[in-house]
Structure 1
Amino acid sequence: MQRYFVDSTQISSPDRITVRGDDVHHIKNVMRMKAGDRLICCDNRGTDYLAELVSVSEGEARCRILETTASRGEPRIQVTIAASLTKGDKWEWMLQKGTELGAASFLPFTSARTVVKLDGKKAGKKRERWQRIAKEAAEQSHRGQIPHVEGVTDWRSLLERFSAFDRVLLASEKGGRPLREALQESAEEHLMVVVGPEGGFTETEEREAVAAGAVTVHLGPRILRAETAPLALLSCIHYSYGEMGGEPL
């Protein structure tokens, strides 16, 4: 069943939802829905609404709420992916797949070996595009919330963010603790995973990250691409916390 995110202001009464914006075009012209068809609306706060389409015009789609349930697509643990900008569309691919896998938010950054550079205007347009990608991926994967995509930050500013998380895990090609061992120590609820650019982190950056509170971890003997490593980390974390089916390890 087709899924759409709505703002809380679009829920006008206990049994009415009005869909506006680009989603109206999708409902009317792409899905070709008619009165009586059913869809799911989500308030981006973890609540799903099974709704029936009452009417659709150029500007809005009016729906009647049939059932209200808690969203099932949100993991208990909140994982922020901090990933260095990568060449081509690799970062967008990671963003899409990371959203499907349950990441809570994304933080793009630049470090010493980051090749891609964005000026203020281009970075703003990129962020708008990235947020749209996250929204579409959240709808497709039946998420209860759209992950927030932050603006591009630099390495120093990223280090200052570490203290806001229960734990920060930094993927290192040079070594570090086994990921399984690091995850078994405690049950944090707010994690950040940090993955560098194609050339990896410098030794100075790794020392600075550890000094700021990060734990360096390694992901085995294989060298993963910059866009693959965040997804591997996220999947392992969710599996260890029982978010991929089964009980926590």
Structure 2
Amino acid sequence: MTKVLRLSVKDRIELFNGKGGLVEGSIERVDRTGIDFVAIKDQVVVHPHEPQWDVYAAFSTLKGGRADWLVEKCTELGASSVTPLLTERSLSISENRVDRLQRVIVAATKQCQRLHEMILNPPIKVGSLLPNVAQSKLSFVAAAEATPLISTLTMTSSTKESRGSLIIGPEGDFTEQELKLITEAGATAVGLGPHRLRVETATISLLATLMLWSDSQ
């Protein structure tokens, strides 16, 4: 706050805890170790009101900072949670990487001024995903050559639902058996255009479209 934003004594700020808690106050003192903050109002708790979409993405094989970017953008767009999905073509994700992704979420939450921190769930296999799909009123799975997403949303325009699941497979795509299990559990297969997309591109395209659609509902 003091080094980057150049805030100083008497400047008004708001502090939040990532769980909807918000406190308004001001800076009373600044020194080398930090600042003293004085609350001028009692804490208020803001309940979630934005669309609630849970993302299941097979991104464990992404190299470099691509997984970081995926999680960062999911946070900014307002995903309720992100769960690494383990498939036959995306088998594992290290604990060290999960810790790093959690730090990315915290940083992105601060940057976009989001009051409720996005949840990073432990990795799950496709079989463990199926009950979640069955219980969700709306679930979409990205699949090559499926009905375009916009066409699917047009057909479900009467559904006033703003919570559901988004499922994205690895860059080698789901196996036929995995896709069959997911759709039989209740997910709708949707297409995202004529080109083969990277995992992070497909995830953000699907999430951004559904967030805007939910907003319009």
Smaller-chain TM-score bracket: 0.7 to 0.9
Cα drift, residue 60 of structure 1: 7.1
Aligned residue in 2 for 1:87: 62
The equivalent position to 2:81 in structure 1, one of 102, 105, 113, is 105
Q: Which has the higher strand share?
A: 1
Contact 2:26 2:40 in 1 (8 A): yes
* CA distance, structure 1, for counterparts of residue 145 and residue 151 of structure 2: 17
The equivalent position to 2:109 in structure 1, one of 128, 138, 141, is 138
Q: Which amino acid aligns with 1:195?
A: I
Contact 1:109 1:152 in 2 (8 A): yes
Aligned residue in 2 for 1:13: none
* CA distance, structure 2, for counterparts of residue 187 and residue 146 of structure 1: 25
Higher RCO (CA-CA < 8 Å; seq separation 6+): 2
Q: Which amino acid aligns with 2:210?
A: I
Which secondary structure does the structure 2 equivalent of 1:223 belong to?
A: coil
Contact 1:172 1:217 in 2 (8 A): yes
Aligned residue in 1 for 2:189: 216
Contact 1:95 1:134 in 2 (8 A): yes
Q: Pairwise mapping of residues 1-249 of structure 1 onto structure 2 (< 5 A)?
A: 27=1, 34-55=8-29, 61-66=35-40, 76-85=50-59, 86-88=61-63, 89-114=65-90, 117-118=92-93, 123-176=94-147, 178-182=149-153, 183-242=156-215, 248=216
Which secondary structure does the structure 1 equivalent of 2:57 belong to?
A: strand
* CA distance, structure 1, for counterparts of residue 210 and residue 49 of structure 2: 11
Cα drift, residue 91 of structure 1: 1.6
1:212-236 alpha-carbon deviations (Å, 9 max, x no partner): 1111111222332111111111111
Contact 2:82 2:121 in 1 (8 A): yes
Aligned residue in 2 for 1:15: none
* CA distance, structure 2, for counterparts of residue 208 and residue 185 of structure 1: 27
Which secondary structure does the structure 2 equivalent of 1:95 belong to?
A: helix
* CA distance, structure 2, for counterparts of residue 180 and residue 163 of structure 1: 22
- What TM-score, normalized by structure 1, do the two folds share? 0.74
Which secondary structure does the structure 1 equivalent of 2:200 belong to?
A: coil
1:61-92 alpha-carbon deviations (Å, 9 max, x no partner): 542223567769x6521011110023212221
Cα drift, residue 37 of structure 1: 3.4
Cα drift, residue 140 of structure 1: 0.6
Q: Which amino acid aligns with 1:105?
A: S
* CA distance, structure 2, for counterparts of residue 159 and residue 177 of structure 1: 23
> What stretches of structure 1 of length at least 5 have no aligned partner?
1-26, 243-247
Cα drift, residue 127 of structure 1: 1.8
RMSD: 2.7
Identical positions, percent:
25
> What stretches of structure 2 of length at least 5 have no aligned partner?
none
Residues 66 and 106 (structure 1 numbering): CA distance in 2 closer, same or farther, change over 3 Å?
Answer: same
- What TM-score, normalized by structure 2, do the two folds share? 0.84
Q: Which amino acid aligns with 1:154?
A: K
Which secondary structure does the structure 1 equivalent of 2:199 belong to?
A: coil
1:123-157 alpha-carbon deviations (Å, 9 max, x no partner): 33222211111111011111111101011111211
Number of residue pairs aligned between Structure 1 and Structure 2: 212
